[in-house]
A and B are shown apart, each in its own frame.
Chain A
């Protein structure tokens, strides 16, 4: 019996507690489990199929990213952030670069900002596609996975052509972008937009009105707006509960204030609403990319950044709307070339807190659905 198992003794039995203590089962889900999206370990306390309580054990993918930052220069740490949420590496890079820019008190040129927005939104799309495929797979629909991976491939191809990497892109640099857009970038993106719009309809056709899908997701893993704010949950999970909070609108960064888009929200805060919100977000991302790609301004792509990045003494917190929620970087500078402390506020980690509240009293199969709907990436949870 591990310590974590012992800790479960505080989980009280429900009203149906019987004389014999034989009706509860402590079951270990993960870290090697097909549906925990990596190496999450969830210890479940079950009464038959009903979940009495859960305990998350994390840290199986801990690499000490925040500590590594203290021994690297600001520029050297940049690629490391890609390894946190490796599904949305571009967003991670954007957050970090903007945080350091804030610390240095400089701004990326408008052309760089446009390129950043396009790539970040494409990355949001890629992240949501991966989420949709795996979430559907967890609930038993195997086919959407292959469709989404097929279409995500096109996004990765654009990344590859832009910066040479597909997954951990390291696309941006402090002060702007290193790479100019390649020849035919805009055509590629426009072509992709045309290609992917009917594909999203295709996913929706498979799932949105599918009776079993609706039954499996509606009223599962309910999270009210109050609970969301209490737990610090952000991103699509928060918006599905009816809170219209999106950092792209609330505190616009990069070039987001230039574009028109809507913040899709749900009402019930259940798994089905979260699904709908993310599907809508995919369409809104397309809308943003469509606006951005038409009017990328001319000009430099790099601000005047000193050769050696040496920010003044001080601290900064900068957060962006990553595909999974609010991704914040808190950087303390002691005036040297290396950060004194970097603290990351990862959306997956904070959202994962809600797991226990969402699944308590539901069934085992719902645990899988809820882990899927929270859209966690263990690289980001453990860092």
Chain B
């Protein structure tokens, strides 16, 4: 058994490529688990960060600093009565959230958290990701249509138009990144997600800095399109609360609604993963060529443990600041326990065996987390675009820019 595990740990391919279904299945379970935890954490973080941007505290009552709030919410949603509008189309109404969730999760099959940390490495990875994630629009349209109600219908219309038009700009930006992978002696590019990161490693630059500012512009196009693609502020028209109450999921409640919620956040993580893979060097640590050598390798490999220790330190600081009243004893103890857990994880991450295995995942997750913060920041800052303006941004600004970058990249590819 142990031999079997160590033999896997030493392998240099993904389980999918190796044809190892057991490991692939374990990976899928791990990703599912990790995503669920990430969505729960994201829920809490978004509410806290947004609250602090808006001079308020956010959840404070359920658990210390509201840490248990997402769990309380999840329980509430699960035990809520399942309402289906009597005029709705039951089958379509029932399938729509499933499609949205399914597409949002399927995408993660090809996301490379490390050189071997992916379920599988498809040679058409990027295409697969874009294709599958664009299927979610189907679920949205179905939800809007099946509700048989005006507001969801309008939300679905907006959503489909928006997702379809921004996919084009997004695709163009992606193609220019894919083109950049072909700048090697043999002149062969790749669509494989792992291959793209390896190309960045080989060319010793993240594609965001490639042909400066070409890569940056392509990245910018993608970064705008991806916000629109996930229906988040300032492009959150499909679920514009002040206009359409809740858009396409107005009629959904309880568990079905929570599926939409889950899908939205996993989609955010998914597109951020694409952006990180294509432009920010995926799992590569910062400055792998500039700050190279044994010492720097060691320093950077300590980051995961240090991050967790810093989080533990922050938690203990909060413990010290908790009110001293006996009423808060349970909360203080809980928070201290949480801090101890974080600290323990941090210490485990310092162990050489774990350290080397984990740092790829860490750098990937850290970059994705940066994008997640951006999402929250946008939400706190920007008003919402109007429908025609949204279309204008998509078709008249992003599309020409994306096309221009693509052409220039292609010309550079021939010239160099």
User: Which residues of chain A (126-145) have a CB below 8 Å from chain B?
Assistant: 136-143, 145
- Interface digits, B109-131 against A, CB 8 Å rule (1 contact, 0 not)? 00000000000000000000000
> Once A and B bind, how many residue pairs between them come within 8 Å at the CB atom?
85
**In contact, B382 and A137 (Cβ under 8 angstroms):** no
Q: A residues within 8 A CB of B50?
A: 142
With contact pairs A216-B385, A365-B240 given, residues A143 and B380 touching in the complex (Cβ less than 8 Å): yes
Q: Which of B88-96, B195-203, B241-249, B352-360 contacts A (4 or more CB under 8 A)?
A: B241-249
User: Which residues of chain A (279-328) have a CB below 8 Å from chain B?
Assistant: none
Question: Shortest beta-carbon distance, A199 to chain B, in Å?
Answer: 11
With contact pairs A146-B55, A150-B55 given, residues A216 and B384 touching in the complex (Cβ less than 8 Å): yes
Bound Cα distance A210, B383 (Å): 9
Q: A residues within 8 A CB of B158?
A: 49
Cβ-closest chain A residue relative to B50: A142
**In contact, A140 and B236 (Cβ under 8 angstroms):** yes
Bound Cα distance A136, B55 (Å): 16
Cβ 8 A contact of B384, one of A34, A140, A145, A364: A140
User: Which residues of chain B (45-72) have a CB below 8 Å from chain A?
Assistant: 50, 53-56
Q: B residues within 8 A CB of A150?
A: 55
Bound Cα distance A44, B28 (Å): 48
Q: B residues within 8 A CB of A216?
A: 383-386, 389
Cβ-closest chain B residue relative to A28: B150
With contact pairs A140-B234, A146-B55 given, residues A215 and B389 touching in the complex (Cβ less than 8 Å): yes
Bound Cα distance A49, B162 (Å): 14
**In contact, B388 and A142 (Cβ under 8 angstroms):** no
Question: Shortest beta-carbon distance, A103 to chain B, in Å?
Answer: 43
Cβ-closest chain B residue relative to A49: B387
Cβ-closest chain A residue relative to B384: A140
Count of chain A residues with Cβ under 8 Å from any Cβ of B? 32
Q: Is B259 an interface residue when CB atoms closer than 8 A count as contact?
A: no
Q: B residues within 8 A CB of A215?
A: 385-386, 389
With contact pairs A140-B240, A147-B55 given, residues A25 and B150 touching in the complex (Cβ less than 8 Å): yes
Q: A residues within 8 A CB of B381?
A: 141, 143, 206
Q: Is A33 an interface residue when CB atoms closer than 8 A count as contact?
A: yes
Q: Is B210 an interface residue when CB atoms closer than 8 A count as contact?
A: no
Question: Shortest beta-carbon distance, A203 to chain B, in Å?
Answer: 13
User: Which residues of chain B (225-281) have a CB below 8 Å from chain A?
Assistant: 233-234, 236-237, 240-243, 245
Q: Is B285 an interface residue when CB atoms closer than 8 A count as contact?
A: no
Cβ 8 A contact of B56, one of A35, A139, A146: A146
Q: Is A213 an interface residue when CB atoms closer than 8 A count as contact?
A: yes
Cβ 8 A contact of A212, one of B237, B241, B379, B385: B385
Bound Cα distance A138, B384 (Å): 9
Cβ 8 A contact of B386, one of A35, A146, A207, A366: A366
Q: Is A11 an interface residue when CB atoms closer than 8 A count as contact?
A: no
With contact pairs A35-B243, A365-B243, A368-B243 given, residues A141 and B383 touching in the complex (Cβ less than 8 Å): yes
Q: Is B365 an interface residue when CB atoms closer than 8 A count as contact?
A: no
Q: A residues within 8 A CB of B240?
A: 140, 365
Q: Is B142 an interface residue when CB atoms closer than 8 A count as contact?
A: no
**In contact, A142 and B234 (Cβ under 8 angstroms):** no
Question: Shortest beta-carbon distance, B247 to chain A, in Å?
Answer: 12
With contact pairs A34-B241, A365-B243, A368-B243 given, residues A210 and B54 touching in the complex (Cβ less than 8 Å): no
**In contact, B383 and A212 (Cβ under 8 angstroms):** yes
Q: B residues within 8 A CB of A143?
A: 53-54, 380-381
Q: Is A27 an interface residue when CB atoms closer than 8 A count as contact?
A: yes
Cβ-closest chain A residue relative to B387: A49
Cβ-closest chain B residue relative to A25: B150
Q: Is A363 an interface residue when CB atoms closer than 8 A count as contact?
A: yes
Cβ-closest chain B residue relative to A371: B242
Q: Is B146 an interface residue when CB atoms closer than 8 A count as contact?
A: no
With contact pairs A150-B55, A364-B154 given, residues A139 and B384 touching in the complex (Cβ less than 8 Å): yes
Q: B residues within 8 A CB of A48?
A: 157
With contact pairs A213-B383, A363-B387 given, residues A146 and B54 touching in the complex (Cβ less than 8 Å): yes
With contact pairs A143-B53, A146-B56, A147-B55 given, residues A34 and B245 touching in the complex (Cβ less than 8 Å): yes
User: Which residues of chain A (169-200) have a CB below 8 Å from chain B?
Assistant: none
**In contact, A368 and B242 (Cβ under 8 angstroms):** yes
Q: B residues within 8 A CB of A49?
A: 154, 158, 387-388
Bound Cα distance A147, B381 (Å): 12
With contact pairs A216-B385, A365-B386, A365-B387 given, residues A142 and B243 touching in the complex (Cβ less than 8 Å): no
Question: Shortest beta-carbon distance, B230 to chain A, in Å?
Answer: 16
**In contact, B245 and A140 (Cβ under 8 angstroms):** no
Bound Cα distance A145, B388 (Å): 26
Bound Cα distance A308, B66 (Å): 58
Question: Shortest beta-carbon distance, A362 to chain B, in Å?
Answer: 9
Cβ-closest chain A residue relative to B150: A27
With contact pairs A140-B383, A142-B380, A363-B387 given, residues A35 and B242 touching in the complex (Cβ less than 8 Å): yes
Bound Cα distance A215, B387 (Å): 12
Q: A residues within 8 A CB of B237?
A: 365
Q: B residues within 8 A CB of A365?
A: 237, 240, 243, 384, 386-387
Question: Shortest beta-carbon distance, A88 to chain B, in Å?
Answer: 23
With contact pairs A210-B383, A216-B386, A365-B386 given, residues A140 and B242 touching in the complex (Cβ less than 8 Å): yes
- Interface digits, B363-401 against A, CB 8 Å rule (1 contact, 0 not)? 000000000000000011111111111000000000000
**In contact, A140 and B382 (Cβ under 8 angstroms):** yes
Bound Cα distance A250, B265 (Å): 56
Cβ-closest chain B residue relative to A136: B383
Q: B residues within 8 A CB of A145?
A: 54
Q: A residues within 8 A CB of B54?
A: 142-143, 145-147
Bound Cα distance A207, B384 (Å): 12
Question: Shortest beta-carbon distance, B177 to chain A, in Å?
Answer: 27
Bound Cα distance A300, B25 (Å): 86
**In contact, B387 and A34 (Cβ under 8 angstroms):** no
Q: B residues within 8 A CB of A206?
A: 381
User: Which residues of chain A (188-235) have a CB below 8 Å from chain B?
Assistant: 206-207, 210, 212-213, 215-216
Question: Shortest beta-carbon distance, B395 to chain A, in Å?
Answer: 16
Bound Cα distance A150, B151 (Å): 33
Q: B residues within 8 A CB of A366?
A: 386
Q: A residues within 8 A CB of B157?
A: 48
Cβ 8 A contact of A34, one of B55, B242, B379, B386: B242
Given contacts A143-B54, A145-B54, A368-B242, 11 further A-B contacts (CB under 8 A): A28-B150, A138-B242, A150-B55, A206-B381, A210-B382, A216-B384, A363-B386, A363-B387, A364-B154, A365-B240, A365-B386
- 13 example contacts (A-B, Cβ-Cβ < 8 A) are as follows A27-B151, A34-B242, A49-B387, A139-B383, A142-B379, A143-B53, A210-B382, A215-B385, A215-B389, A216-B389, A363-B386, A364-B243, A365-B237
Q: Which residues of A does B touch, CB under 8 Å?
A: 25, 27-28, 33-35, 48-49, 136-143, 145-147, 150, 206-207, 210, 212-213, 215-216, 363-366, 368
The 6 closest A-B CB pairs, nearest first, are A140-B384, A35-B242, A146-B54, A141-B383, A140-B383, A139-B383
